[in-house]
Amino acid sequence: MSDGAPLVRLRGLTIRAPRRTLVEDVAFDVFPRKVTALVGPSGAGKSLTARACMCVLDVDPGLQAGELYYPALGEQGRTDWFADVRGRGVAAQQRLLARTRALRGAYVTYSPQAATSALNPGRTIGRQLALAIARRESPPADAGAEIRDLLAEVGLAPHVARALPGELSGGMAQRAALAIAIAPKPRLVIADEPETGLDPVLRRAVVELLVEVCVTHGAGLLLISHHQSTVDRIADDVVALPGHGAGA
């Protein structure tokens, strides 16, 4: 069952490096309030596929085939974002990156494997939330109140806004990273192995919070995970990628 138009429609994605295929003929849809899990062994191209869904392509020669649509994006819903990129190398991929910059944050956000990668160590959590909120199509007049609400939503106290990432525990950092990911009110959240480095109890709590927040906000979730128990528990759809012997 779907909940509105797909947020992402990917068809036939094929990405090559100079001497090997990294991703081959991958296709799926991601719907609002649904969890689509990307699974597969190391080297299957899970992270590459997720980044491609954000029009972030940084491999040479890169995209060889595939179509990417954001059907829920109003008048642009019929645009194939890969149309001018297929088989045209790095320069075309860089032009696509620039052309879609405004979509990253307002339409789709990405949360990398470790919270330390998602958080700027030199900025307070509050400042990072304020910058993320500013990417909304209609930023609120009172960012301070919004920051407090976001922290509360992920189970963090208001004083965390004044903290630097290095002052937080691993679980608190993951929650702060989640707050930053949802702060722009994206339609789609991509979470790249959010369980990394967490103990089993905390892992379950963070993932379930991630799903709850996405559903509450009406966002779709594209989840990369190598924990089969997590996938079995929360995924509405599962996309299994075969290994190709390259990066994750």
| Higher pLDDT among residues 49 and 135, named by residue | 49
Distances (CA, A) of 194 to 77, 83, 113, 221, 227: 29, 32, 5, 12, 11
pLDDT over threshold 70, residue 246: no
Per DSSP, the three-state class of 24 is: strand
Whether the CB-CB separation of 150 and 129 falls below 8 Å is answered with yes
DSSP 167: G
Q: Mean pLDDT across the stretch 38-66?
A: 94
β-strands 220-224, 188-192 pairing? parallel
Q: How far apart are CA 156 and CA 125, in angstroms?
A: 11
pLDDT over threshold 60, residue 1: no
Instruction: Return the percent helix, strand and coil in the chain, to nearest 5.
Output: 40, 20, 40
CA quadruple 200, 41, 66, 88: dihedral sign = positive
Distances (CA, A) of 211 to 36, 88, 109: 11, 37, 14
pLDDT at position 15 is 97
Q: How far apart are CA 103 and CA 187, in angstroms?
A: 10
pLDDT at position 227 is 84
φ and ψ at residue 22, rounded to 5 degrees: -95, -40
Q: How far apart are CA 241 and CA 24, in angstroms?
A: 9
Q: How confident is the model at residue 203 (pLDDT cuts 50, 70, 90)?
A: confident
pLDDT per position as a tens digit, 4-48: 789 999 999 999 999 999 999 999 999 999 999 999 998 899 999
Whether the CB-CB separation of 54 and 102 falls below 8 Å is answered with no
Nearest to 113 by CA among 170, 192, 48: 192
Q: Please provide the average confidence, as pLDDT, over all residues in the chain.
A: 90
Whether the CB-CB separation of 244 and 213 falls below 8 Å is answered with no
What size, in residues, is the chain? 248
